[in-house]
Structure 1
Amino acid sequence: MKKTARFSIILVLAFLWQHCTDDPAPARPGTIRFALRPTVAASQGRMATSLPDGASLYVSIRREGGDDVYTLEPVRLLKLGEEYISEPLALPGGNYELTDFLVADAAGDAVYAAPKEASELAPWVDDPLPLAFTVSNNGIAQVDVEVLPTDVYQPAQFGYVTFTVEVMLVPRFRLAVFRAGDSSAEFARVYAYLLSEGDTLLQDYLPAAINDIEFSGSLAATYTLVLMKESYKTYMRTFVLADLLAELNGTPLQVTLEDALTFTASSRSPYFGFTMQTGRETTPFVIHWGDGTEEVLPPTTSGGETYLPQHTYAQPGQYHVSVAGDLAAVEYLSFTDTQSDRYSLRALPGLRSFSMANTTGADSVDLSHNPVLESLDVAYSDIRYFDIRNNPLIRWMSLEGNADFPVPVLDQIILDIHDHAFEQQIFNGEINLSAGPGQGIIGPPSPYPMDRLGHMGELSWTIYQ
């Protein structure tokens, strides 16, 4: 007769964000909570049993056919009558597999374990690990896990190398960072700083998973957490560690990143500045300048507004800058006469004019998310690589002064702008391909693209070369 303890695990996905608008809300991460009701097989049926005082659950979960999300993650248990309720775990919607399942006492010694497939004890349970389950945005998934006591068996008989689990007596805090995916929230890899009184306690990339943020410091001290990722608003939070731990109550700190205009500013003069113009009323914009300084730009209250944000850095360096807010209203953006790099224009779907004239640093720019772009100026810049296949409305472009522009890239740009102009019937456009005063055309283009340039005259385009 099998002597097993069966745990029914109810995976409850609860939305933590509420919106009061008619617009469809972006996918947000949920939380999963385990509900356990332990019973032991007996000759006359199943009888309720109890877990040791201070018992915790340790689980490993991975994406179906993919990477690990949790690895022997400690999950605290609270007894409610004959049932045990776990602390919530952050997990986006998707398909997953439960790969490890241990119940340990307060000392970290495993008292129950779920056998794995192909192990000696696998035949003792109906469904050994791994167990597949699906988490949906608005649903409940149920997984039944059978466990066996570990007191008379060895880990290898369950399919484990060891039952040893790490008991963290004073865990700092855990962090889960998400970004909106196509249909649900996804874990995001970020660059993180943890600062305290001018000292940098943490400075590293964090993987797309639940991360333990551990550092030596006082519970009463004040810390600042900074999270940065290209295309997303910089996240900053200042907290007293004891207060944060009390607030989280064992759950991870959950951060959902917000879309933003991002770039790297190189401080080589007293200040760094750029120009941004909107075409309608907006909410305020928030700029994180990359040195811990946050600036709020006032909202646009009329048909449009021109912003000239400038910032002075204390010392030269490379600074990750993010601009968040009503970015769909931004129609004009210029970094003329700056030293900057790593532009992400993904959050600017309404951008009509973009200038990087006389800039140094960046050799490429991604314009694939700017479908209404009409004007592009990269004259006398380091830009050598860009693609306008997704920019069918361009009617003005300057590559003047870029004498060493790669010919294959130039050829494709000419063919694309030619095809777009005829497909969209765009008249009176301009292209400046001059290498400089008296220096002829950049490239020069291959014969067929040069022939296409000649055809542009049919639409009254002006070609400077």
Structure 2
Amino acid sequence: MKQISWLVSLLLLATVFPSCREDEPAKPGNIRFALNPTVVNDGQGRKATSLPDGASVYVTIRRVSGDEVYTLQHVRLLKLGDEYISEPLPLAGGNYELTDFLVADGDGNVVYAAPKEGSELASWVDDPLPQTFAVSDNDITPVTVQVLPTDAHQPEQFGYVTFHVDVVPLPRFQLSVFRADGTALVFSPAHVYILSDGDTIYHRHLPAGTQPIDFAGEPGATYTLVVQEDALMTYSRTFVLVELLSELNGAPLQVTLDAAFTFTALARTDFFSYWLTTDVTVPDAFFTINWGDGTVEDYTVNTYLAFEHRYGSHGDYHVSMSGDLTTVRWLALVFGYGLADDISLQALPGLESISVSYSDAADTLDVSHNPNLQMLAIAHSTIQYVDIRHNPKLTFLDVTANTALPASVLNQLITDLHHNAVEQHIEQGELYLETSYDSGEILGPPSSDAMAMLVYLNQTLGWTVRPSPGI
């Protein structure tokens, strides 16, 4: 490090989030800048300093092939203690070069700049621009960028033609997302995406309330707004930016999300499928499914239907289903055709049976909103946690070959099942705990107290318990 009193060092951490799962309407990953400015004091060490109020960065990024991805892209900064964190910038996986790096104040005046190779000031920093970096899934790419103050030098001494940047207000509109709470509508948090030609240019998880939506959009361009949240139906609207702003005229765009059965479909085969049955007294139950890839379909169900969808490519897709959800009685997300994660059953209060067997996707299952549940099958699955305290009618539980289930969770399942059976005097139930079908070996193994409860269920209440306890 050069010992220069007016050198400011900014550690640029290109925090790369996973390239978007295909359940989210995003193709690129996100890169985020973390800056820690320090002043080097002529051999006296480093001293923390602050950037000007309202500071932001302008970056130019190109692929190593030479294709420019961002040209003096404005990226806003948020100060967290002594550190500055930028908003995420969408960037697909690959190898890149950082060719421009400018730090500007709130008025757009460039106050720091990173020198470029071959410039007069290039020797004053350890690694002048361009600097290469790679973006990949599940990784954090550290890039150290050193900048010099611009007040005593001309742009050409840094290798720039000019330090002028245009500060253009971003298009902005207000968004209010609501969900039903009884008979009233209440604000809801939500994931909000804006897509352009299939690529995500904006993604935030917004808190409940009326929130500003601003992004670097072209007034006459067409975009798609996608709003989604677990247990709520996905909303989608295509709009021309200038027309939307004119329509709203300063008022917020109001979106109401209906209650929905939601999950992440892990499409790994030629098609994705799940099954359900409905209340036999409702001959024609109606449902709408948003498959998470832009396809929305309506279905009429007469007691039983297998929903099948073919995705254009393998990936992860956020699926939401609304409609006559109170009529759903049996649901199966099983085998490789129905691999699912993030399963939300909150909107299925009448559910009596669910199976996620033969599935290596989800690790938790929340059935606390399903008081009528009678049958639960998580055999040959990766479920590690499920709580049945709120399911007093449960008479069938199959966890066969679920070797991922911790002994503590298994003990609690047995305890809760025993408690409910005794309280409700439930006889002739079924409980399957074998390490594999007909192995004769028990999972866990359960504690001595849990084993005593199994004996009581089997010998006193007549439950079928496999393997039979006490042998």
For the aligned pair, the TM-score class normalised by the smaller chain equals 0.5 to 0.7
Post-superposition offset of 1:195: 1.7
CA 1:172/1:282 → structure 2, altered by over 3 Å: closer, same or farther?
Answer: farther
Question: Contact 1:287–1:294 at 8 Å: present in 2 too?
Answer: yes
* Contact 1:191 1:229 (C-alpha < 8 Å) held by counterparts: yes
How far 1:382 moved relative to its partner? 0.3
Residues 63-462 of structure 1: matches in 2 within 5 Å? 171-181=171-181, 185-279=185-279, 280-298=282-300, 300=301, 304-337=302-335, 338-436=338-436, 437-438=438-439, 440-456=441-457, 457-462=459-464
Give 5+ residue unaligned stretches, structure 1: 1-166
How far is the alpha carbon of 1:439 from its aligned partner? 5.1
- Deviation of residue 171 (structure 1)? 4.3
Identity level (%):
43
Identify if the C-alpha distance between structure 1 residues 439 and 186 changes in structure 2 by more than 3 Å, giving closer, same or farther: same
Amino acid at match of 2:299: L
| Displacement of 1:173 | 2.0
1: CA distance, partners of 2:392 / 2:259: 24
1:398 Cα deviation (Å)? 0.5
The residue type equivalent to 2:194 in the other structure is: L
Secondary structure in structure 2 of the residue aligned to 1:459: coil
Equivalences, count: 295
Provide the secondary structure at the position in 2 that maps to 1:422. Answer: helix
Q: Which amino acid aligns with 1:334?
A: A
Rate the CA distance shift 1:283–1:172 in 2: closer, same or farther, 3 A: farther
Does the Cα contact within 8 Å between 1:335 and 1:357 map onto a contact in 2?
yes
SS in 2 for 1:372: coil
User: How far 1:172 sits from its partner (Å)?
Assistant: 3.6
Contact 1:404–1:442 (Cα < 8 Å) also in 2: no
Q: CA RMSD in A?
A: 2.1
CA distance in 2, matches of 1:199, 1:367: 35
CA distance in 2, matches of 1:402, 1:255: 41
- Which one-letter code corresponds to 1:420 in the other structure? N
Separation in 2, partners of 1:353, 1:443: 25
For 2:426, the aligned partner's letter is I
Shift in Å, 1:352: 0.4
SS at match of 2:318: strand
Instruction: Report the Cα distance in structure 1 between the residues aligned to 2:423 and 2:358, rounded to whole angstroms.
Output: 32
Q: What is the distance in 2 between the residues matched to 1:307 and 1:426?
A: 31
Question: Aligned in 2, Cα 1:460/1:185: closer, same or farther, shift over 3 Å?
Answer: same
CA distance in 2, matches of 1:354, 1:273: 15
Q: For each residue in 1:204-225, what CA deviation from the matched residue of structure 2 results, as whole angstroms up to 9, or x when unmatched?
A: 3223232222233343433211
CA distance in 2, matches of 1:409, 1:271: 33
User: Normalized against structure 1, the TM-score is what?
Assistant: 0.60
